[in-house]
Amino acid sequence: MNLNNQVALVTGAAQGIGKASALALADAGAHVVVADIDRQGAEATADAIMSTQRKSLAVQADVGDLQQIDRMVRAAIEQFGQIDILLNNAGVTRRADIMDITEADWDRIHRVNAKGVFFCLQRVAQEMITRRSGRIINIASIAGKGYAGASNVAYAASKGAVISMTKLAALQLGKHNINVNAICPGVTRTPLSDANLRVRAQQEGVSVAEMEQRRAAVIPLQRANDPEDIAAMVVFLASQGARNVTGQSFNVDGGLIPD
């Protein structure tokens, strides 16, 4: 799991899975470019990394905007000279029934979760191809594999797109020695999922604590993920131990989706 002196770019790294993964990559030895639309959050994560004696750079970026993606990547290259690892983590959603999804919901969710993932992958791959080396890790979701508890249909569709992109990108970038994999988290304790949990609790007229118990009860291992559970898989997929792993979508979900 030694990532000494490698450079990782993590999107959506101000909180949740992105922050935990950025810290885990740094703990494994990587220098980390911390990207997020929330500048202060990105800077806080970068400060936490630098306190561990690893180098870090905070970049404010909206991954739904191709010009900002390019600016983010150029900032990483100017600072570190290379990108060895991309963690495509930035994502959005909201809790909604199928009949309540609007065109604005669809466009917002796919702009970040599908378009953003692809164009971050494409732009970083340009840099990796010249060096004939790279690891791209996309955060998908078990929602993209049909999980009934998905926050909404548009979100599930966007994550299904990430899984498909991962497979095709792995096939087409393999000749450049670039590995592309996806992680499909199940129920994970993040600010985004907690917000959805509160909405669901309100809709069903129960307390948040009771809803948390219900959520854990349906998981075979009887516990939701912490962001660090996903971060551990990120570090593995970035490591030499996964050098021959590509085109895969790994569930980290306590057994919710047998796959």
Q: Which amino acid is at 123?
A: R
Burial bucket for residue 192 (CB in 10 Å: 0-12, 13-18, 19+):
middle
What is the three-class DSSP state of 49? helix
Burial bucket for residue 246 (CB in 10 Å: 0-12, 13-18, 19+):
buried
Give bridge partners of residue 58 from the DSSP assignment: 34
**CA within 13 Å, CB half, 230:** 32
| CA atoms 216, 192, 160, 39: torsion sign | negative
88 close to 135: Cβ distance less than 8 angstroms = no
147 is catalytic: no
Annotated catalytic residue: which of 155, 186, 215, 224? 155
Active site (catalytic) residues: 155
